[in-house]
Amino acid sequence: MKKILVIGYVWPEPGSSAAGRHMLSILRLFKQQNWQIEFATPAQQTEHMVALASEGISSRSIELNSDSFDRYVSEYQPDIVMFDRFMMEEQFGWRIDKHCPKALKILDTEDLQCLRHARHQAVKAGREMNQQDLFSDLAKREIAAILRCDLSLIISSYEMALLTDTFKLDASLLHHLPFMVDLHECPESTMRFSARKHFMMIGNFRHAPNWDAVLNMQKIWPLIKQQIPEAECHIYGSYPPPKASALNNIKTGFLIKGWVKNALVAFEQSRICLAPIRFGAGIKGKLLEAMIMQTPSITTSLGSEGMHDKESWPGAVADDVDAFVKEAVSLYCNEEEWLVAQNNAGALLSARYDGKALGRRLIKKIAETEKNLKPHRLNNFTGSMLKHHSMASTRYMSQWIAEKNKHQ
């Protein structure tokens, strides 16, 4: 039985974030191959974390900068190690190289954090993102982690192009893996137009792009409310801070609902999903869930980035505030237009998010890479160079911290 070790940045929370749902879908795919899976993380346990044991997946808490991990992984001897975000590869990748040199190393990027960071810097400065924003120290770290791994999972087609065209990475090191949706579990029909009411937003409040979108929506909402006085905007999301709760306003219908146990129910009851996203990366799980529940959405070009190409968007894409408001009001009030947008959702899901097809492609890619691992690594000279001792600053810093901790 093939042994898989997944080193997580956090415990998976499928009810709180798209990243948590994506991680769980990958774990389940691996489990379907009858592989033995262990999930290990240095993160603290959380109230919304998934019960991995119920999925047939073992779990373990591990420590940063500790030789205890070396003993653990030497005993476990995984065939495949998957890092959840580049920071985990930085922390544990060199230890895997040392104690499990034959293990296939996979990096699940979730999204490109350097891209999200660069866009955030540009938004704060009130300008367009430039090359200096993108080619940051964070980018150097993230791209280096991708190069040190045998395969990196990239969630967005936009990010695939960015990595190959701008950062000049070899495509053989990358694999495009959007969210995997079980199309057979998607409802054939949901609540009718007339049975639904109000607008909704959703997203983990700890995620900076989500909080920024809420603040942006606070400015947009009065313009929508003015034209649809009876409408409300329901804002869902885990871990709402006091500053978010303070925005709750019954009079204006701008309601901070907080964490919701079943987000799909909230989507189905809402007539429109709003996502006025100004920065970020990857693809948006909230917009995918809106499609699953046949709820049309209004978002920005950045919000829909990497989620569709020639396919029609199930709603509208608008970057200008006036255009965003116009589309939201029109779609909310016009049933015929709403039904067209709803129908577009199913077509887009089938075209890009078929979980079974995407899963088969990933397993095939892993098998091919494993089979040709020696030449695959030989062709990745830059990755080999980055593993060389002269480049391993993270390794030596970690060893210094470990020794320091022993004498405290």
What is the structure's pLDDT at 400? Answer: 80
pTM: 0.92
Amino acid identity of residue 141, one-letter, is R
CA pair distance 157, 111, nearest whole angstrom: 11
CA pair distance 173, 112, nearest whole angstrom: 15
Amino acid identity of residue 224, one-letter, is I
What is the structure's pLDDT at 23? Answer: 96
Q: Which residues pair with 152 in a beta bridge?
A: 107, 174
DSSP, collapsed to helix, strand or coil, labels residue 133 as: helix
What is the structure's pLDDT at 390? Answer: 58
What is the CB neighbour count within 10 angstroms for residue 211? 18
Q: Which fold has domain 3-181+355-406?
A: Rossmann fold (3.40.50)
What is the structure's pLDDT at 402? Answer: 81
Q: What is the mean pLDDT of each run of 10 residues along the chain (408 residues)?
A: 96 88 97 98 92 96 94 97 97 95 97 96 95 96 97 97 98 97 95 98 92 96 98 94 94 94 94 97 96 98 94 96 98 98 96 97 98 97 85 75 79
CA pair distance 318, 301, nearest whole angstrom: 7
CATH 3.40.50.2000 residue ranges of the chain are 3-181+355-406, 184-352
Q: 164 with 152: CB under 8 angstroms?
A: no
Task: Read off φ and ψ for residue 215, nearest 5 degrees.
Answer: -65, -40
What is the structure's pLDDT at 15? Answer: 83
Nearest to 342 by CA among 180, 231, 190: 190
What is the structure's pLDDT at 163? Answer: 98
What is the structure's pLDDT at 46? Answer: 87
Q: 149 with 107: CB under 8 angstroms?
A: yes
Which residue is listed with tokens 């219908």? 253
Who's near 53: CB < 8 A, 6+ residues apart?
Answer: 59
DSSP-H helix ranges across 201-354: 208-227, 242-245, 263-269, 285-292, 321-333, 335-352
Look up the CATH number of domain 184-352: 3.40.50.2000
